Amino acid sequence: MEINWVTVAAQIVNFLVLVWLLKRFLYGPVTRAMERRQKRVRDRLQEAESMRGKAEQERDALKAERDALDRKREEMLSEARAAADKLRHELEKQTRESVDAERAAWFARLSGDRQEVLSDIRRRAGEEFFAIARAAFRDLADDRLEARMIAAFAEKLRALPEETLEKLKSAVRRETSSAQIESAFPLEAEDREAIELALKDILQADVSADYVQREDLIAGIRLRLDSQVVEWGLDSYLDELEERLGTALSDAGVAEAKKAAE
């Protein structure tokens, strides 16, 4: 069989033309369309990746902002709690100080009032006792209370320790100072004479005395000679009365304070 090379060459040319035509009009557009599609897909994927990255960044930013807000809120709450605690402590301290000050002032007023009341009671009790005793002596024994008090004062002088008597006698002998007789009541001439006779008898010497009326004695007689002081009066009894009244007032004040505190 003989090969027709012209036909073969024509077929080859036809095939090449067909391939070129297919590539030119079929494969080329399809390939370009596929490339464009792939490019669009890649672009969308890149865009989606970019959007995902931005979303993650925004999420992270929002999370960081939220965390910062949470921290700020906790700080503000902590500061508010600290400020509230500080204010509460300050108010409690101020309240305690105010209560303590009011209590101290109340006790001070109570103490002052108590002392004033006791002093007034002491004075009034002495005056009333003196008046009642004077009337009783006058009505019952036809005697003067002053005379009885002078007699009691003389007895106290006689009962002085020997050492004190010697000091009084020595002062009289030195004549460095005159005796001073203080009394709560005015002494009449007979009272003064009785006192001077008692001093002469006890001190074994003539004693000249200056007489002074002192209301603070309430009901008593006091001798001042040199540095020595001898006194007789109702002070000891009034001191006991004042102490008992003071105790009663203190107990009443404490009870009232406890009641007020409750």
**pLDDT, tens digit, 9 for 90 and up, residues 75-87:** 888 888 888 888 8
C-alpha torsion angle, residues 115, 121, 122, 127 (rounded to 10):
150
Confidence of residue 137 (pLDDT cuts 50, 70, 90): very low
| Residue 183, beta-bridge partner list | 213, 221
- Among 114-128, 134-148, 230-244, the least confident range: 134-148
- Among 1-15, 134-148, 165-179, 211-225, the least confident range: 134-148
Confidence of residue 241 (pLDDT cuts 50, 70, 90): low
pLDDT > 80? residue 252: no
pLDDT tens-digit profile of 170-179? Answer: 888 876 557 8
- Domain locations in the chain as residue ranges: 123-247
- Looking at residue 142, its pLDDT comes to 44
Do residues 190 and 135 make contact, with C-beta atoms less than 8 angstroms apart?
no
pLDDT > 70? residue 249: no
pLDDT > 80? residue 58: yes
pLDDT > 60? residue 141: no
pLDDT > 80? residue 61: yes
Do residues 243 and 235 make contact, with C-beta atoms less than 8 angstroms apart?
no
**Beta-carbon contacts of residue 194 (< 8 Å; ≥ 6 apart):** 147, 150, 151, 154
Q: In what order do the strands lie in the sheet with 220-225?
A: 209-213, 179-183, 220-225, 228-233
Do residues 184 and 218 make contact, with C-beta atoms less than 8 angstroms apart?
yes
pTM over 0.85: no
- Mean of the pLDDT values across residues 205-227? 81
pLDDT > 50? residue 103: yes
Q: Specify the 3-state DSSP secondary structure of 183.
A: strand
pLDDT > 60? residue 136: no
- Looking at residue 140, its pLDDT comes to 39
In single-letter form, the type of residue at position 237 comes to Y
